[in-house]
Structure 1
Amino acid sequence: MLDLCSISHKGGIVLWSRSFTPEASHAASTSTSPVNSLVRDALIEGTADTKYEKDGYAVRWTFMNDLELIFVVAYQRILQLTYVDDLLFGLKKLFIQYFGPFLTSFVASLHASSSGQPTRDSAMSWDFSKAFEGWDAAFDQLLKGLEQKAAQERKSRVRTWIPPVAAEVNPGSDDDFGAKQTSELTDQQQIARKVQALQSRPRGRGGRRGGRGMARLDSGSGRDSVPNSDSETPTKKSKAKTARHWGDQPVTEADMKDLDYSGDQPLNLDAVSHDIQSLVDEASLGTRTTDGMYEVKDWTFAGQGDVLSKIAGPVTDTGSMGRLSSMFARLTGSKVLTDKDLKPVLDAMKQHLMSKNVAMNISEKICEGVAEGLVGKKVGSFQTTNAAFRQALSASLTRILTPKTSTDLLLSIRNKLSSPLPSTQQRMPYSMTFVGVNGVGKSTNLSKVCFWLIQNGLRVLIAACDTFRSGAVEQLRVHVRNLSMLGVNGAGDSKGRVELFERGYGKDAAGIAREAITYAKDNGFDVVLIDTAGRMQDNEPLMRALAKLVSTNNPDKIIFVGEALVGNEAVDQLTKFDRALRDFSSAAGGPGRGIDGMLVTKWDTVDDKVGAALSMTYTTGQPIIFVGCGQTYTDLRQLRIANVVQAILSD
């Protein structure tokens, strides 16, 4: 069931509205209206898709650009209404068909009023209830037809299950006869196989069980005894086991000593030191700035130079950008570009973006941004048109990739640690919680972030809050040992700079995180990294437990860890994690926290198909702080918008 439908002008004038529930009617008259939230949070910022969710509502909308109209439908998010898209399409089509001339004059009057030109219509008091008389009946008829159609489709999808005994009701049916014939044929085949097995058995004095008795019964024919089952066959006495030899030479005492990893053996520090140094890739090390800060490297696409300029390259290029270039070659001359002229070019661009794992709705949004920048411009030479297209495309991609918040995590940490406090108040450490689904690499990349923080002179406490997965605490213990031996710039021991806080398995993760933050505050740690157990985004009990950890400890950053391998599945995981955290943490009495940033792992496996990064940033408006691209502690990279644009537009 719908909650609210409305038709309004982009300037904020509501032409028509219908509330279907008392709650929606009350919300429509307040600032919490889903339509007001849509305009404030999505349309003004220009970062939302044609679906928006707020306070339990799902809001869908569509535009009529010529008349500057917005058609909005709101309903409860928990409902699965399949006819909403058809309703929006029919709503727009019927409304324009009924009141097209009136709307044209209305919009023209608004434009004249805004430009200060006095017109006859501008002085009129627009009476929408009278102008749209009869529209309610037409809308009711449209909605009733769509609801009936959806109900029929649901009935057609329901299949009645017939129990097995129903086949006995009509024994003369063809299906029953075929089933019986098949059953009889199967029995005959089984009998024939058993007879053949009996006939082919070698003659002897009897089987293993009851052989003598069967031999006496069959003594006249001299036939061997019949086994109790098909699998019962005479077997020979098994041989004694012999030792397996893995090499040409026997194992010596020296080999056994090298392979002995028991706890009472002395630790070979030289071997451990060599093993630790292999966890740092010298080629992947970051750089030191003039003020001594350690920055990780930027991720760069190992492709073909500036691909934006490649659009203006030779038409003979066989790639998708080459086909796009050939399409632009036709748009030359002295004319003004229209939507019709750009449609084939934008369709080709949309397919190219989708091939780079950019979600379809975001590809359409990018193409809409390009069209807005080009429609109405006069076409000149090929170079002029191509340059305008490059500028519009780059601006559209940059606008979507630019997050709402800063990506400088180190600046945020230093601001909190250096902020003035009263003398009676103890400084709290900066805390970060790492969340995500199972197996994406949360613990490994948490250790990479810890290495980066240590190189910047910060003391880090790692809280082992994954109390479910076997070996999770031991894994972090090994990372802490390695990071302690690496130190800053790989010089000397830095045991005091990193420490593990753990309480074993089966404990409450929220309580462990709270104890870890208190311990870090009392012992002078700068940052607390909270490792959590992996969980699927649809598992409500586990998501509630994670929301409890967030609402109890209120970390400074909640970082979602997703892997680049799954493409747009990571967008679905991110969306549901963010929604569940907001809903459950607010229900638990917290401020309703969501995801604050992303860390994308296994980035080195996707080459130039980096569209998932664009989709994730667009969906949440939050930045991708780091990407993981290897197995060592130095394999952490920052994303630059220009490099992502280059990879997306490459052939």
Structure 2
Amino acid sequence: MLDLCTISHKGGLVLWSRSFTPEAAAIATSPTSPVNSLIREALIEGRSTEETYEKNGYAVKWTLFNDLELIFCVAYQRILQLTYVEELLDSLKTLFVELFRPFLTAFVASVHAVNKGVVEAVTTLDISKALEGWDKTFDRLLKGLEDKDRSSRLRTPAKAIPVAITPPSDDPSTMPTLAADETSDGQTIARNVEALKNRMRGRGGRRGGRGGGSRPRTPLESAPSSDAETPTKRKSKAKTGRKWGDEVPTDQDMDTLDYSMDKPDDASFRAQDLDALVDKSALGTTKDGMYSVADWEPKRRADQEEDERIQDILQNAKNRKEEKETSSSSTFGSLFARLTGSKTFTEADLQPVLEAMKQLLMKKNVAKDIADKVCQGVGENLLGAKAGSFQTTNSAVRAALSKAITRILTPKTSTDMLLSIRDKMSAPVGSGQQRTPYSITFVGVNGVGKSTNLSKVCFWLIQNGLRVLIAACDTFRSGAVEQLRVHVRNLSMLGVNGATDSKGRVELFEKGYGKDAAGIAKQAIEYAKEHDFDVVLIDTAGRMQDNEPLMRALAKLVSVNNPDKIIFVGEALVGNEAVDQLTKFDRALKDFSSAGSVNKGRGIDGMLVTKWDTVDDKVGAALSMTYVTGQPILFLGTGQTYTDLKQLRVDSVVQAIVND
């Protein structure tokens, strides 16, 4: 831990100082402080040429910025081993000069212009106001370096120190004696030692214990007790029924407890819960009568932005320094070659950077196999390529990786589902024929949120003035039909564009449990055709990707009804598992839905990724899913209300993955 950090002018004026301990604050202004002693003895008198100075138990390190005559000092206890001090000094100097160069230039000019002394020369300059905000910047810089040092020390395995273990002895003469100042705790220590010896003796007597031998059993231990010979019989008590009240509940009481029935006229429900179903801050935009869900933007915390700003300043300063050193040390020919881009990337240049990028991708929840393939492709594209003007390997790999991720995430087909729906609605039909509604099937494993996010898509469709029929084809999970019934009741109350009473725009089609899901979906589509519904949303039961009978049943539903869209619903929380789920779902649908027919099997048409709000910037599941199928991500589920549905923007995902 640091004790003192100062930034001062060579003339003696302290521009900024920070004390971390009361002792350091007390000695900071004293003539014998380590910093003052450093300036007087090491810098002015020139007694030391090293960049480390020791005084009164403190170690002081410093660095100079001669252009502006500044001294940057850090003091800490000499017994501490702080490995980040040199990096702190270098970053401290770079940041301070970059942020306050205009003020510092005016300050130095003022000092040189007046010969009365530094204090009189700068009385017109408000130093505290000019350096406003520096404290927070310094805190962020120091915290980042301390966290980095702490994590590096945690990753370093500690060396095991061999310790000779002496087994306890029963001989009192071998027991350690107590010093004079330890007699107060002598009895306590003696009791603890005796208890430890008893436990060690007991452990050695067990069969297979450490002692290896067996302790002779006493007659009481060897002889069976009377309780052991006659096992105790437990007395069984008759189970008594619970009483929930003094009287049998009436039909009216039961009706108030039934939350699965459709009760559109329940005024209490409207007053209490209607506003909680829609998050107005998450509402999308309505333009030309079309309601679009909001775009997802990565959350940017204030401290994260400050860290990025600090790193950008340091990196830019480093780049300028490298350019300056290169231009001053290189010959004209090598400089010309660098400017013209004749330097090519070799495998030795790319390998360490690509490995770091692969670790970054996996940290952002990208599946390992996908991260390997993406980085391999980036390396193959850059190998032998010419570098740009002063382009580093790191920047080149990062730029190539951004392009690769953008290319993977960019949809190959249209993601405008509303356009597809309206095209089908406006398509001409033959005389005497009825228009077939647009059907969407939601598939996925158990518990990912298919029914909940289906209702969000339904709200989006209702907001666009479409009539929606929800088909309850999850005939296996208990409560699945009742869950959809509650969603339909809620959605019928929300209405179009937030207006109440849209009953008639959404309806539930259900046939109970234990029925054939493919048959129910077919009946639902026929019902929607007869009653002029625009869209049919088909909810299916969750199933694991390795369960072949259930995957065949799902493929049967697809082949029988031929839906317009098959949307895979997956979680943003999983990495490698998402790839396995999506791959096997897509393969099973293609294989089983084409069995016995000449038509090619149907696969996944798009993805809806749920629980997106729980992963912060670890959004690599989007890259993994898109890489596997080549299909786009249509929606993102980000919360628990009907408006918590977002659109994915490629540049936002690239920014969240690459920028770190």
User: What CA distance in whole angstroms lies between the structure 2 residues aligned with 1:436 and 1:329?
Assistant: 57
Q: Shift of residue 628 of structure 1?
A: 0.6
Instruction: Report SS of the residue matched to 2:454.
Output: helix
Instruction: Report SS of the residue matched to 1:278.
Output: helix
1:455 and 1:336, CA in 2 relative to 1: closer, same or farther beyond 3 A?
same
User: What CA distance in whole angstroms lies between the structure 2 residues aligned with 1:598 and 1:309?
Assistant: 35
> Cα deviations across residues 567-598 of structure 1 (Å, max 9, x unaligned)?
22011000000001111000143541111111
1:490 aligns with 2:490: no
TM-score normalised to structure 1 length: 0.58
The partner residue of 1:261 within 232, 252, 257 is 257
Q: Shift of residue 305 of structure 1?
A: 6.1
Q: Shift of residue 194 of structure 1?
A: 8.9
1:443 aligns with 2:451: yes
The one-letter amino acid of 1:477's match is R
1:401 aligns with 2:439: no
1:275 aligns with 2:273: yes
The partner residue of 1:364 within 372, 383, 394 is 372
The partner residue of 1:572 within 575, 580, 583 is 580
1:593 and 1:380, CA in 2 relative to 1: closer, same or farther beyond 3 A?
closer
Q: Shift of residue 534 of structure 1?
A: 0.7
User: What CA distance in whole angstroms lies between the structure 2 residues aligned with 1:416 and 1:241?
Assistant: 60
The partner residue of 1:619 within 621, 628, 635 is 628
Judge conservation of contact 1:571–1:619 (CA < 8 Å) in 2.
Answer: yes
Partner of 2:532: 524
- How does 1:576-595 map onto structure 2 within 5 Å? 576-589=584-597, 591-595=600-604
> Cα deviations across residues 227-285 of structure 1 (Å, max 9, x unaligned)?
7644448x8999x999999xxxx9xx9xx989952699997513444212211111111
User: What CA distance in whole angstroms lies between the structure 2 residues aligned with 1:555 and 1:360?
Assistant: 33
User: What CA distance in whole angstroms lies between the structure 1 residues aligned with 2:533 and 2:255?
Assistant: 39
Judge conservation of contact 1:279–1:632 (CA < 8 Å) in 2.
Answer: yes
- How does 1:175-186 map onto structure 2 within 5 Å? none
1:636 and 1:326, CA in 2 relative to 1: closer, same or farther beyond 3 A?
farther
Partner of 1:292: 289
The one-letter amino acid of 2:367's match is A
User: What CA distance in whole angstroms lies between the structure 2 residues aligned with 1:403 and 1:228?
Assistant: 77
1:628 and 1:330, CA in 2 relative to 1: closer, same or farther beyond 3 A?
farther
1:278 and 1:232, CA in 2 relative to 1: closer, same or farther beyond 3 A?
same
1:344 and 1:469, CA in 2 relative to 1: closer, same or farther beyond 3 A?
same
Judge conservation of contact 1:462–1:528 (CA < 8 Å) in 2.
Answer: yes
Instruction: Report SS of the residue matched to 1:503.
Output: coil
Q: Shift of residue 391 of structure 1?
A: 3.5
1:327 and 1:229, CA in 2 relative to 1: closer, same or farther beyond 3 A?
farther
> Cα deviations across residues 361-387 of structure 1 (Å, max 9, x unaligned)?
322333244335544444465467766
User: What CA distance in whole angstroms lies between the structure 1 residues aligned with 2:217 and 2:284?
Assistant: 73
Partner of 1:68: none
- How does 1:66-215 map onto structure 2 within 5 Å? 195=223, 198=226
Judge conservation of contact 2:573–2:621 (CA < 8 Å) in 1.
Answer: no
> Cα deviations across residues 191-224 of structure 1 (Å, max 9, x unaligned)?
97695754xxxxxxxxxxxxxxxxxxxxxxxxxx
Partner of 1:26: none
User: What CA distance in whole angstroms lies between the structure 1 residues aligned with 2:217 and 2:243?
Assistant: 45
- How does 1:223-622 map onto structure 2 within 5 Å? 229-232=230-233, 261=257, 268-289=266-287, 291-303=288-300, 304=304, 314-315=314-315, 334=338, 335-379=343-387, 382=390, 388-589=396-597, 591-622=600-631
1:420 and 1:192, CA in 2 relative to 1: closer, same or farther beyond 3 A?
farther
1:601 and 1:326, CA in 2 relative to 1: closer, same or farther beyond 3 A?
farther
> Cα deviations across residues 41-93 of structure 1 (Å, max 9, x unaligned)?
xxxxxxxxxxxxxxxxxxxxxxxxxxxxxxxxxxxxxxxxxxxxxxxxxxxxx
Judge conservation of contact 1:448–1:635 (CA < 8 Å) in 2.
Answer: yes
Give percent identity, aligned residues only: 65
1:467 and 1:346, CA in 2 relative to 1: closer, same or farther beyond 3 A?
same
Judge conservation of contact 1:357–1:611 (CA < 8 Å) in 2.
Answer: yes
TM-score normalised to structure 2 length: 0.57
Q: Shift of residue 343 of structure 1?
A: 1.7
Partner of 1:648: 657
User: What CA distance in whole angstroms lies between the structure 2 residues aligned with 1:374 and 1:518?
Assistant: 55
Q: Shift of residue 485 of structure 1?
A: 0.7
Instruction: Report SS of the residue matched to 1:647.
Output: helix
User: What CA distance in whole angstroms lies between the structure 1 residues aligned with 2:502 and 2:417?
Assistant: 23
> Cα deviations across residues 408-438 of structure 1 (Å, max 9, x unaligned)?
1111111111122233332100000001111
User: What CA distance in whole angstroms lies between the structure 1 residues aligned with 2:417 and 2:582?
Assistant: 20
Judge conservation of contact 1:581–1:593 (CA < 8 Å) in 2.
Answer: yes
Judge conservation of contact 1:277–1:486 (CA < 8 Å) in 2.
Answer: no
The one-letter amino acid of 1:489's match is N
The one-letter amino acid of 1:472's match is A
> Cα deviations across residues 466-510 of structure 1 (Å, max 9, x unaligned)?
111111111100100000011112212111100000111111111
The one-letter amino acid of 2:635's match is F
Judge conservation of contact 2:293–2:647 (CA < 8 Å) in 1.
Answer: yes
User: What CA distance in whole angstroms lies between the structure 1 residues aligned with 2:306 and 2:603?
Assistant: 36
Specify every segment of 5 or more residues in structure 1 that has no aligned partner in the other structure, as ranges. Answer: 1-180, 199-225
Partner of 1:123: none
Judge conservation of contact 1:337–1:376 (CA < 8 Å) in 2.
Answer: yes
Q: Shift of residue 511 of structure 1?
A: 0.5
User: Which is greater in Rg?
Assistant: 2
Greater alpha carbon shift after TM alignment, 296-305 vs 509-518: 296-305
User: What CA distance in whole angstroms lies between the structure 2 residues aligned with 1:262 and 1:616?
Assistant: 41
User: What CA distance in whole angstroms lies between the structure 1 residues aligned with 2:369 and 2:322?
Assistant: 23
Partner of 1:89: none
User: What CA distance in whole angstroms lies between the structure 2 residues aligned with 1:258 and 1:341?
Assistant: 74
Instruction: Report SS of the residue matched to 1:361.
Output: helix
Q: Shift of residue 460 of structure 1?
A: 0.2
Greater alpha carbon shift after TM alignment, 564-573 vs 383-392: 383-392
The one-letter amino acid of 1:287's match is T
Greater alpha carbon shift after TM alignment, 443-452 vs 372-381: 372-381
Specify every segment of 5 or more residues in structure 2 that has no aligned partner in the other structure, as ranges. Answer: 1-206, 328-334
> Cα deviations across residues 3-28 of structure 1 (Å, max 9, x unaligned)?
xxxxxxxxxxxxxxxxxxxxxxxxxx
User: What CA distance in whole angstroms lies between the structure 2 residues aligned with 1:191 and 1:502?
Assistant: 75
User: What CA distance in whole angstroms lies between the structure 1 residues aligned with 2:553 and 2:354?
Assistant: 45
User: What CA distance in whole angstroms lies between the structure 2 residues aligned with 1:469 and 1:477?
Assistant: 14
